[in-house]
Structure formats: C-alpha cells, structure tokens
Structure 1
Amino acid sequence: MRSQITGQCDLEFVNLGRDGEPGMTECQGDCDDHSDCAPGLKCKERSWNEAVPGCHGFAYNRMDYCYNPACDSDSTEDSLDSSYGSQGGANMPKCAGDCDEDSDCAGSLKCFQRDGHQRIPGCSGRGVSNFDYCYDPADEEDTSTSTTASTTGSTTGSTTGSTTGSTTSTPSTGGDCLCVFDIDRTLTGKQGTATNNECPQNKEIPGIMDYAYSRGWLTISDAGQNLQQTFCNQCYLGIVSAGWASGPDEKDYLLDHVLLSEPYSKLREEYPKAARWSRRRTLGSPLVLGYADRKKQDAVEGIVNWYAQRGITIRPPKVHFFGDRTENIGPFASKGYNSREISCDSRDQSHHNGMVGYCGALVSEIVDTPGVKLCSDPEPVTTVPPSDMAPPSENQPTPGGECLCVFDIDRTLTGKQGIRGPDSDCPNNKKASFIWDSAYSGGWLHLSEAGQNLEKTFCNDCYLGVVSAGSASGYLSAERRYLLKNVLKSRPFKRLQRKEREAKEWSDGSEVNSPLVLRWPDRTKQDAVKGIVEWYATKDIHIAASDVHFFGDRTENIGPFRQSGFNSREISCSKRDYSIGNGMVGLCGAALSEIVDTKGVVEC
C-alpha cells in the first residue's frame, strides 16, 4: 500500500474502508476533509461516482478520495457528474447524467448515448458504465475522439450512428407487436407452490429471494417459463409492475431466462439500454417498476412511446397487457390497447378475497385476442339459430317495470372511520354515534354522502338490496340494525318490509335467502345479485336485468357484471384509500352524484 505521495496522475483507487486512515495518499479513500490526506493533497468529496483527478479503476460510488491538485491543474473540462443517479433529472447541466433523451439536458445540450466508458466530448472522467451524459455539441468539433464516438455509438435495429453519439431512426412500418406483463403472480407464482404440488407447472429458483406478498424462493409461472412458446415470441416485450422485482438477482433472472422473444433479444444486443429497469414515472426503458395499480395503462402508453422514439412503431391493436389483478384490466379500454386477466383458475384467497393470482399465468392464457378480457367473462359460445330455440313458456312472468338498486356496504354506503368534517377529505360524511363498524381499520360508523341520502336518488323508486364481502360487524350487530332503519330506505322497499319479514333479514354465506347478502366473495357479486333478483321473483316482483343496478367501490367487482345483463357502477372515484392495496377500496364512499340511472358497466 502506498504511504508516500508519488506525484503520478494515473493511479488505481485504493479503498480503505468507511473511516479511512490518517495521512492518506493519492487515490486512497475514504476521507472526510483535506486534513485526512497527506500534506499537499485534497479530499475529493463526491455525491455519486464523480471522477477523481489522477485516479482510475474501481471506486465505491459515494466514497471520497484523496487526490493531487496538480493532476487537475491543466484540465479545463468539467468532470462527469453522476449524482443525478440512474433516473437522471430535468434540465441537467453539461457533463451530468444519466440522461435518456436530448430533452433531459438543459438548453442546447444533447444527450450523448454511449456504451461502457466511452469518452464524452468536453467532459473529463470515466463516469458510470453505460450512463449517458449531457454535452455541448460544439465541444465535439474540438476533440479527435468525436469521430470514434460517431462510429461506436449505440444503435437500434433500424438506426445509423450519428456524429452526436445519439441515434437517427428510420421508423418501422407499424407491423410490430408488443406484449407487456405484470411480474408478481403473472410471470411469477406464489412462493413455495412449485414444490408442494399446488402449482405443479411452476418452477422454483433456489437461491433467489422474492419478497412479493410473502417471502420465499422465486417461483416462475408456466407462462414465465415459456414466453417463447407463445405469440409474444414475435413481439417486443415490456414490464409494468407495482412492485420492485426484489433486487438485482430477480431482475437478472427475469432478463436472462424469462423476458425472451426474437425482436426484444435482438434489440437488447444492439441497444443494451432496452434491458435497463425504470422506476415509477421515469419511463426510460420498457421495464417499469413501482407503477401504481389502476394506472398501468399510462405506463404502457409510455412504453409504446419509448419504442417509437427508437423507430419502432406499434399500433394500439397490437399492444397486449397481461396481469393478474382485475383492477388493472378494464382501464386499458380507454387507450385502445388489449388487456387480459390471467391466473383465472388459481387465486390467492389470503390476499383480499382472491384479489391477486396464485399460480401466475398459464401458457394457454397468453393469447392474441382483441379487447379487454376478465376472468369472469365467459368464453365465446356457439349461437343457437332462432328457429332452433324453444318457444317461451306461456307461464313465464313478464317483468313489470320495477327496478332494483343493490349496494356494497363498506366504503360505499359507509366511508372510512374517523374522516369527516369541513376540513377533511370527506366533508360530506357523517358519524353515527356509538355504532361500531368493524370494516377494515375499525371505528365508529361513518356514512357516506349517498348512504345518508338514498331517498334523494332514483333508487327511492326502486327495491333495494345489499351484497357485501363483509359481515356488517357481525350477527345482531348495532350496525345491521342502523343500516336497516336509517340507510336502506325507499318507497317500494318499505312497503315490502311491512309484508315480508324476510326483506329485513340478512343472508350469511353462500345462499341468498333475502335481499341483504353478507360474506359474499368479491369478484362474484354478480351471482349474488342474480340470487336477489330470483328472490324478488318468488315474491311476485319481476325485475328486468336492464333495470338492475349495482354500486360498489372495488374495481374488481364491477367488470364481472358485463356478462350478467345487469348494470354496475364503480363509486368513490375521486377519493381512494391508498393505505389498502394501492387504492383498491374507496375512502369516502359513494357520492350522491354517483347514484345515477345509467346503463352498462361504468368504472372510475
């Protein structure tokens, strides 16, 4: 180890631990100030891997090193600044990185896209391998390395090198396709399921930890092992996940063994940045992590734009998203993209009544079908010609113009406990004193705006019903009594309750014996509503499917009504509870303006 100043300006870094040593010489770290270095040397304090004059080799990103000022005296160039990190920033100055596009750089500066430690015109130092840095094109004219940069700059499949180190693309014809996947419970399955025969088609990867939902060895789904056996093998690939892929080991495995297709593999060879991971809203690659559920269609749009910037044009009908969470599928209709819910036959009931998949995607679910497809949607069936259909029964009753409004309870007729008042997120909610509500976090019952005013909506002229996955705080609870007396009120329902005792009773479990149904699983509430319609029919009240309306706060419960013929509407759209499943449930509950007589299926 060096103990004396050498005067040389081409020395290897020496890392002496986080506390360093007294009297450190050139390129030794970690110093805290100049006094830690030998006389005549200075301490180069760094934010993130900035160059140290006269030093090269491996250096820890945030370690500070002693250096000889004489090694920097004849340099008029700025040092490369990597302090912005891998996501870069806006309006970055000269020699700063990591940039992705010219627009990341201030003023007339451009982004120099490079491989490895390729020299940046007008800047000194090596920077971070494969980081791209902002530079002034005028500096390129004054350096002999610019010619080399132009011939060695990265290219995509249909690009040619330029004198700026960026790429000039010839757009493709638009015949390309794109497959974008969620990761957790889509390309992966629940940890441990490959070895206990619950998901025999899954494959466990010992030694690589996956922290999604529950901790365990990374487990790859059937589709995750075999993307090359699907139509996606001829498509470009992308990722949009609310999770973080559990660290470098899982990310590397996904890149090396899962995210494989002919176009994407070729692109990665020619343009290594296609394998870089982006975080949250910084869409610097087609692999996006930390993106909120219910908004993944926006990230996919960003991925499509990322490909377009590289001359790869993909039309919306050729874009396919595959994911396991119902709430992420329907919103893709607004973009014109295709989306398909997967892991339909296996759901993890330990997470919010099957909100997420269990085994992950099957190869049979990765198919090139147009539109939005939920697990609850039936597969196409052969239509029976009218001449072959049986004539209607002479005794079949005709719907009599009645209507039915069915509500979820928690975060629909109610709001989150403790939030009310003019300065709160839910100024129109009302506390029901001394009525306990056990839903979610628990607390005194708070009614939503709609829950207080059903008689002011069109539902006042309709029969009523309830379908909830919860228990309304349990058998003989004060909440159940309060809802019956103060919330579930309409003219027809009041008349019926005077005649029919069952109209005041609660059905618990799998059977519908009244219009008030509790403990019914999410994602299947359309079946309970059908049971309520049939119950009313036994009372000689016949309601057409088109006059049945369901209102609930959870996205996963709305889409499945599409094939039932009933109307359904998601509510609590403006305020969501992000403390539960990324806004999976409402916060304030239903607003009065959301209880409307509109046809079809309407999501937030």
Structure 2
Amino acid sequence: MVMLKLLTGLALAWLTVGTPSSPGGSPSKANATQARSSLRGPPVASADPAPNAAPSAAPNAAPDAAPDAAPAVPDSNVHSVCQSRPFDSSLGPNGGENMAQCQGDCDGDEDCAAGLMCKQRDNGEPVPGCSGGLSWPQMDYCYDPQCEDEEEGLPPLDSSSGSDGSTDMPKCHGDCDEDGDCATGLKCYQRSGTTTVPGCSGIGVPDFDYCFDPADAPEPPTMPPGSGPACLCVFDVDRTLTGNQGTASNGECPADKEIYGIWDTAYRGGWLTISDAGQHLKETFCSKCYMGIVSAGMASGRFSRERTYLLENVLVGEPFQALLSSNSQTSHWSVRSVHSPLVLGWPDGQKQDAVAGIVAWYEQQGIRIADQDVYFFGDRTENIPPFSSTSFNAREISCASRDMGIGNGIVGYCGATTDEIVDTKGVHVCSDAAPTPTPLPPPPATEDCLCIFDIDRTLTGKQGDTTSEYCDKNKLENSIWDTAYGGGWLTLSEAAQTLPETFCNSCYLGVVSAGDAGGHTSPERPFLLENVLRSEKFDKMKSENSQASAWSGYPTVNSPLVLDWPNRLKQNAAEGIVSWYAQQGVTIPPKKVHFFGDRTENIGPFAEKGYNAREISCGVSFSFELLVGSHLDGPKRQSLQVSSVHLPEASSGSCLGGALRPWPRRQMTPE
C-alpha cells in the first residue's frame, strides 16, 4: 500500500509539473502538432517538392523558397488596409510564439502577434492576405483580419465538398468535374493551379475546379488593331521547354534554370530544369502568338506543380495569357484527347494530329489560325518529318545538345535554345544545319559508286511475314535463323532479292548494321554474301580480295561489311568503308556514296559527310513495337535510287507517318 501511494504521488507530480517537452504543465503543443502534421500533404506554393518522388522537404526544415525571416507585423492600429505577404513555413509544424502575418504553423490565435488571428485549414483553404512563398495544405497560418474584406461583395471559394465534389453545387463551390455537377445556370470552371474563378474570391485549393456563373466571365479577347493574323506556337515539354534535370546546377547546361522544389518525373527524374528557350519565350516571335503543348509525357501528372509553373512562367505569350484569363478551358490539360490547347500523353510520331486538333479548338473559340502560321518545336527526331504531310511548320530543337544515353541521341539534353525558336517556314530537322551538297552535273561514267545497306528490316523483312498486304513479295529462307529483334526464319526483302536489277549493280557494295547478322558463325552471313550482296564490281572485288568478304565490328572498319555500329553514327562507318576502298585503289567521291536504311534517325546525319542517304521501307507498315523507325517488310526495289539526304514525305499508315511516293522504274538507274 505504501508503494502504491508513492507511485500515485509520483504520477500526480508528473502530471502537474509536465514533461520536459511541455514546460509549465500544459499539454505539449509539439506533440499535438506533430500528430496532426503526420497527416499533412505536400506544400502547395510554387516552390514545393513533389510528393513521393523528391527528397524529403519536411515542414520542420526551412525551405529555400521561404523568406529568411518574415517582417514583424505592425500593430493593427498603424494601418487601415490589408497588406499582402508571402507564406512563411520556416518554423515548421511546431510553430512559435508571437508569429507574424502569414507565418505558421499556429494552433490558435494566441500563437499569433497582436491583432492577428490563426486561420485553421484542412485542405489548402485560402488564407486572407497571404500568397506566394511556400505553404503546406494542412498547416494553419496567422493572418490579418482586415484582409478578410479584401474582395468585398464576392463570395469566397468553398472547398468543403472535397476532391469528389457533390451534385447541384452552388456558385463558387468545388471540386466539380463537369457542368452537370453545378446548380442550374452555372458551369464548372476548369482550371490549373490557382487561376482566378470569375465572380469568386480567394485562391481555393490548387487545381480544384469550381462552379461559376458564366455571366461573370469577361468576353473572349479580340486581336488588337494592326496586330496581323493570329499565329500559334506549339511545344513539346520534356527536353524542349525543359532540360535534363540537374544539368543547370552541375554546369552541363549553364543557360538552363533549375527550379528547386518542383519535381519533374520525366526520364530519370529530378528538380524541374527550364531550358534557355523556356525562360525567354517572351523574347521570341511566339510572344505574339497563341500557344499550345503536345507531349508524350504527363508533365509530372495531375495536380503537379510543374504544370502550374509552365502555365504561369513559361507559356507567357500575350494572346495566350489573355485567353487564359477569360476562358477557363484554356488552362485545362487534355490527356490522349484534344479539348484544350494543352495536350499530354500523345504518341510520338503522331503529334501533327494533336496540333491539328489544337488549331480546331482555337477555331471553336472564334480564333482562326492559318496552317502556314502554325509552328511546332520538339526535340525528338522522329516527331518532325511527319509534319511534311501537313501545311504546318515544324523544327527539331536542342540540336547542339543530345542525350546519347537515350536512343543514341534521339532526344535532346539541355532543351531548346532561344535562337532555335524562329518563324522559318517548312519542316526542319537538326541535320539541316549542315546543308546538303549542291547537286552537280552528272559525273563522268568512269567515276565509281558505292551502295551501303543496313541489314535488319532493310535487306531483310519481319521474320516469317510473306503474306501480309505489304510483305507479299518477301521471301522466306526456312533453313536459316535470323536472330534480329524477336528472331525467326530469315526473310529477304524484295530489294534484297533483286539488287542486280537496280543501279547498285554497277557500284561497289557495303553493309553498316547495328546488329550482328546472326553472330560470328551464323549461316546468315555467308548467305547474304553469296545471294544478296551481288553486283558486277563487288563480285569481282570479292574474287580478287578475300578481305572484301570479311566482317568488321565496331569501332574498327577493316572491310566493307561493318556490324555492331551504333545508330545515328552510321555515317562514320560509311566513311571508313570509303577509306577501305581507297586503300584498294578504288576512289569513290562523296556524291557517289549511297546509304539505304529503314531507321529514321540514321538518315539526316549523312548530310555532314556529303553522302547521299535514303530512308526505305516507307510505303509500308511501320512497326510500333520497336523504339524508332523499324519496318515490317524491308524496302521495295523502287526505293533504291540515286538521292541526296531524304526523309520520307508524309502519308497516312506508313513509316513514322511518312511514305515516299512509288518511284517509276526509269528512276532506278543513275540519271
């Protein structure tokens, strides 16, 4: 009993005195606040880290974006109007005493300076007189009551229905998904970030949509007098408006700008990095144009801060910003469909279709834009040539910086530069920077020529397919296994069966392939030499020089048959083959070198060497199972013709949206 009394006394003393973390005997504010903060979501201001992806930026650590110290709030008698201030979350979830205006986290009015009150929040509700800086959705902030009347006469945005919304919601209530969620006569105002809702006050929950009265919305903008016809600039996002994450801070892309606190999930992920052009669109011709986005990516997903940042800080064209303020649908993000100018999740190789949809959307808003005044800018090589099927303009950008770790440079690295955003008409890829050699008069008949071929889906077709619509002239060799792609019995393309019937019969021959033609001891290699790579001059060379039948491998070229050579670098292997022939006493001028291959990415780079190159297998079915530009059947023999550097003219249902028109037989020989 004595022991029980002793323990009871100690317990009462402990409750009276309090724990070390709660002096004075009052319940620990830290404990209560920490319990509540465990349920908090990510911050919602322009510098917040994205959830589940970025390194932890807990509220109890002062974020870089927050001010070093919020200025002290004057006594309420000193001023008679609201003075807006940025959010300050630097004190973390434990808050402090005598906190200034817009500081948090407070638990009650007693935590705030004289004249201020604590705004209790559950899900990012607006705090009167506070905007900008960094805030957390469930942190509570001190505010000046005088700011409550800042927008007198306008009802505040009401988010009490939560993200699922409700039915028959009144004006300024959300989150709505469509007009049917709102009361009769009201519509659902679709918005991104904290776009102002007509007829309502406050900022509400970022990315929530609210019911509004259409009568409160201003009329759509009209073109100012003398401004000329409307134009449209459409951009890819990843590696176009943005650069590779982390490269602005490590010096690889010094013109780029890292936006610390906004996570970008694209590719390898990292802090959002805005390209040179993304920072300075206002200094380009696009500043006078309407704007749009077509991206295969998702701009870090729904509710991401990246989307809001792009709208508020990157797409700053005057007409576009005016439309944003007057038309709620302008800021809506379309996914795999087009019902706004911001389109995400759209497949590569088909972006010209989304651009056409954006043009149609603008026309529905009463803004007519001529096709020749539409400009698309993107970093992926494969997305540019298909625009040839339209009257739109398109330009590949990030030409000076390519990410060689992704598809051997098929995507950009630092993103677009300001000087690449130009209103030049036509369709242009990066290789156009090295001009194609000026055509010369027909050379003397004594000059030698060289035909170089890729193998997989060029000399061969998809294994086993000899009956489909486009592959019915292919030939199956059911005793030779071809390991390329998914593997199968060797299947020769039409051109491979009939090379002696083309102009290449009078040329020397060579091979440059990223594959290995079945491997070192495969029967495919001798079969190609004996039955496919046949021409008068090459047959004679093989009979006199055993090295002509040898197979070279990257990075060495010691024969005309080169394997394992990286895509986008095949022009270098072709140069090595020309040098090998020169060592045998055969001089072949650059204008007489012809490369034929099925992968789009391999064609443009040949211009820098002065060689001719042609993409083949174009009037046929394209294989979307593969990363870039592989075709199902290989080339028709009509594809083998004298040419400079040619990407396909676009037509529906074929390679990357582009197909060369059938070439008559008279063009199968040198002109």
How many angstroms apart in 2 are the aligned matches of 1:425 and 1:399? 36
Matched AA of 1:579: E
How many angstroms apart in 2 are the aligned matches of 1:371 and 1:472? 38
Could you say what secondary structure the match of 2:343 adopts? strand
Q: How far does the alpha carbon of each residue in 1:152-180 deviate from its partner, in whole angstroms, 9 at most, with x for none?
A: 45632129xxxxxxxxxx99975333221
Match of 1:413 in 2: 459
Q: Does 1:156 align with 2:212?
A: no
Match of 1:246 in 2: 300
Share of identical aligned residues, percent? Answer: 51
How many angstroms apart in 2 are the aligned matches of 1:428 and 1:196? 54
Q: Please point out which of 429, 438, 451 is paired with 1:374.
A: 429
Match of 1:482 in 2: 527
How many angstroms apart in 1 are the aligned matches of 2:533 and 2:395? 37
Match of 1:330 in 2: 385
TM-superposed CA distance for 1:428, in Å, is 4.6
Call closer, same or farther: CA 1:458–1:375 in 2, change over 3 Å. Answer: same
Answer yes or no: is the 8 Å Cα contact 2:551–2:559 preserved in 1.
yes
How many angstroms apart in 1 are the aligned matches of 2:187 and 2:317? 32
Could you say what secondary structure the match of 1:350 adopts? coil
TM-score of the aligned structures, taking structure 1 as reference length? 0.65
How many angstroms apart in 1 are the aligned matches of 2:555 and 2:308? 45
Call closer, same or farther: CA 1:154–1:540 in 2, change over 3 Å. Answer: farther
Call closer, same or farther: CA 1:316–1:533 in 2, change over 3 Å. Answer: farther
Answer yes or no: is the 8 Å Cα contact 1:173–1:313 preserved in 2.
no
Answer yes or no: is the 8 Å Cα contact 1:506–1:516 preserved in 2.
yes
Match of 1:269 in 2: 325
RMSD between aligned alpha carbons? 3.9
After TM superposition, the structure 1 stretch with the greater mean CA deviation from structure 2, 567-576 or 432-441, is: 432-441
TM-superposed CA distance for 1:323, in Å, is 1.2
How many angstroms apart in 2 are the aligned matches of 1:197 and 1:268? 35
Matched AA of 1:273: Q
Call closer, same or farther: CA 1:305–1:564 in 2, change over 3 Å. Answer: farther
Matched AA of 1:519: D
Q: How far does the alpha carbon of each residue in 1:112-148 deviate from its partner, in whole angstroms, 9 at most, with x for none?
A: xxxxx5844xxxxx674449xxxxxxxxxxxxxxxx9
Q: Does 1:517 align with 2:517?
A: no
- Greater share of strand: 1
Answer yes or no: is the 8 Å Cα contact 1:523–1:557 preserved in 2.
yes
How many angstroms apart in 2 are the aligned matches of 1:327 and 1:572? 15
Q: Which runs of 5+ in 1 are unaligned?
A: 1-55, 66-70, 72-81, 87-94, 98-116, 121-125, 132-147, 160-169, 384-396
Match of 1:38 in 2: none
Q: Which is greater in Rg?
A: 2
Q: How far does the alpha carbon of each residue in 1:37-91 deviate from its partner, in whole angstroms, 9 at most, with x for none?
A: xxxxxxxxxxxxxxxxxxx96266499x9xxxxx9xxxxxxxxxx99x77xxxxx
Q: Does 1:219 align with 2:294?
A: no
Q: How far does the alpha carbon of each residue in 1:213-239 deviate from its partner, in whole angstroms, 9 at most, with x for none?
A: 334443332322332233322322111
Answer yes or no: is the 8 Å Cα contact 2:217–2:326 preserved in 1.
no
Q: Does 1:185 align with 2:239?
A: yes
TM-superposed CA distance for 1:241, in Å, is 1.3
Call closer, same or farther: CA 1:441–1:204 in 2, change over 3 Å. Answer: farther
Match of 2:507 in 1: 462
Q: Please point out which of 584, 592, 595 is paired with 1:550.
A: 595
Kindly tell me the number of residue pairs found equivalent between the two proteins. Answer: 457
TM-superposed CA distance for 1:268, in Å, is 0.9
How many angstroms apart in 1 are the aligned matches of 2:266 and 2:214? 43
How many angstroms apart in 1 are the aligned matches of 2:586 and 2:513? 23
Q: How far does the alpha carbon of each residue in 1:3-38 deviate from its partner, in whole angstroms, 9 at most, with x for none?
A: xxxxxxxxxxxxxxxxxxxxxxxxxxxxxxxxxxxx
Could you say what secondary structure the match of 1:354 adopts? coil
How many angstroms apart in 2 are the aligned matches of 1:527 and 1:334? 31
Call closer, same or farther: CA 1:264–1:595 in 2, change over 3 Å. Answer: same
Q: Which runs of 5+ in 2 are unaligned?
A: 1-158, 169-174, 192-211, 649-657, 659-671
Matched AA of 1:276: H
1:97-496 map, 5 Å: 117=182, 119-120=184-185, 128-130=188-190, 151-152=215-216, 155-158=219-222, 174-248=228-302, 249=304, 250-280=306-336, 282-378=337-433, 400=446, 402-417=448-463, 419-422=464-467, 426-433=471-478, 435-442=480-487, 444-496=489-541
Could you say what secondary structure the match of 1:356 adopts? coil
Match of 2:574 in 1: 529
How many angstroms apart in 1 are the aligned matches of 2:258 and 2:213? 44
Match of 1:7 in 2: none
TM-superposed CA distance for 1:512, in Å, is 4.0
TM-superposed CA distance for 1:326, in Å, is 1.4
How many angstroms apart in 2 are the aligned matches of 1:333 and 1:374? 11
Q: Does 1:497 align with 2:542?
A: yes
TM-superposed CA distance for 1:531, in Å, is 4.1
TM-score of the aligned structures, taking structure 2 as reference length? 0.59
Q: How far does the alpha carbon of each residue in 1:85-111 deviate from its partner, in whole angstroms, 9 at most, with x for none?
A: 77xxxxxxxx879xxxxxxxxxxxxxx
How many angstroms apart in 1 are the aligned matches of 2:486 and 2:251? 35
